[in-house]
Amino acid sequence: MSTPPKDPRPFKRAILKLSGEALRGPGSRDNIAPEIVDRIALEIREAVQGGLQLGIVVGGGNFWRGASASARGMDRATADYVGMLATVMNALALEGALEHHGVSCVVQSAIEMKNVAETFIRRKAEKQLDEGKVVIFGAGTGNPFFSTDTTAALRASEMGADVILKATQVDGVYDSDPRKNPDAKRYDTVTFQQCLSQRLNVMDATAFSLCMDNDVPIVVFDLAPHGNLSHALRGQPIGTLVHGE
């Protein structure tokens, strides 16, 4: 294991990456579990009230996966656009929960849909973050063939975020798949170069390259346990920190 020269936590501005599956309860038939979205909103409220500037990128896998649909014969670009619309549904659900708890927020969509969301404009999003609003980025990058991990890396770079908080179903980055190897070891910290040399799967290649090139650290943590999101948003050590040299 390695030790970074400087731990970037705590931080002023962060991008939280949520998977679509994170909004669905375990074993639930519902695409969105209101109680989970409510819990996420409450933990976000606490962090924002503490002064954190927060942008959120949410996936759409609880509704649709473009790559899977493409493998079954659907045109890949069309399948990806359907997936982008799924992310907007999740973004709106999250916006509603946050507003219910008194958090000022806005959904910015990379695909224009003026009746339900603002269109993404970088300078406007930066201003909203400075004003203390939570900005939820929907519709991915607005282009097919890019994941929402790439969207998170792109928005973090554009917004000048200090860190990406990647909420997952595992509690960090391991030297091998912990589901297959009971002896797999979890890293507390690991460098971008180590991830490349050891082929550690943190994000897809495009997203990872963006983070590495723009020196955006990534914190990988398990969203499921209550309180984990609060710990991550407060900048408390949790999961695995992926960082530059």
Q: How far apart are CA 205 and CA 75, in angstroms?
A: 22
Q: Has residue 86 been placed in a domain?
A: yes
- Known binding residue 78? Answer is no
CATH number, domain at 122?
3.40.1160.10
**Is 9 a residue whose pLDDT tops 70?**
no
Quote the CA–CA distance of 104 and 133 in Å, as a whole number.
5
Dihedral, CA of residue 52, residue 56, residue 62 and residue 66, to nearest 10: -160
**61 among the known binding-site residues?**
yes
* pLDDT 10s digits, 214-244: 999 999 999 999 999 999 999 999 999 999 9
Q: Tell whether residue 132 is among the known ligand binding residues.
A: no
Range of the domain at 115: 13-243
- Residue 50 domain-assigned (yes or no): yes
Instruction: Indicate the length of the chain as a whole number.
Output: 245
199 in a labelled binding site: no
Please tell me whether 34 is known to bind a ligand.
no
Residue 183 falls within a domain, yes or no? yes
177 assigned ligand-binding residue = yes
Higher pLDDT among residues 14 and 29, named by residue: 14
Residues 6+ apart with CB under 8 A from 124: 108, 118
Is 4 a domain residue? Answer: no
20 assigned ligand-binding residue: yes
Per the annotation, does 147 bind a ligand? yes
Is 96 annotated to bind a ligand? Reply is: no
Domain-embedded: residue 1: no
Q: What is the pLDDT of residues 95-112, one digit of tens each?
A: 999 999 999 999 999 999
Q: Is there a binding annotation on residue 148?
A: yes
Residue 65 annotated as binding site: yes
Phi/psi of residue 165, nearest 5 degrees: -100, 105
Tell me, what's the pLDDT at 129? 98
- Please tell me the least confidently modeled range out of 6-10, 54-58, 108-112: 6-10
Per-chain mean pLDDT for the chain: 92
CA distance 20 to 67: 15
d(CA 174, CA 172): 7
What is the identity of the amino acid at 206?
Answer: T
- Was 19 annotated as part of a binding site? yes
Is 114 within the bounds of a domain? yes
Q: Is 172 annotated as a binding residue?
A: no
2 in any annotated domain: no
- The annotation status of 189 as a binding-site residue, yes or no, is no
- The answer as to whether 7 is a domain residue is no
Q: Is 114 annotated as a binding residue?
A: no
3: annotated binding-site residue? no
6 annotated as a binding-site residue: no
168 is in an annotated binding site: yes
Contact 223, 22 (CB under 8 A): yes
Q: Is 227 annotated as a binding residue?
A: no
- pLDDT tens-digit map of 149-161: 999 999 999 999 9
Strands 13-18 and 105-109: unpaired
Number of domains within the chain: 1
Query: Among 195, 163, 185, 130, which residue's Cα sits nearest to residue 155?
Result: 163
Amino acid letter at 127? K
What does the alpha-carbon distance between residue 42 and residue 233 come to, in Å, rounded to a whole number?
12
204 is in an annotated binding site: no
Model pLDDT for residues 123-152, shown as the tens digit of each residue: 999 999 999 999 999 999 999 999 999 999
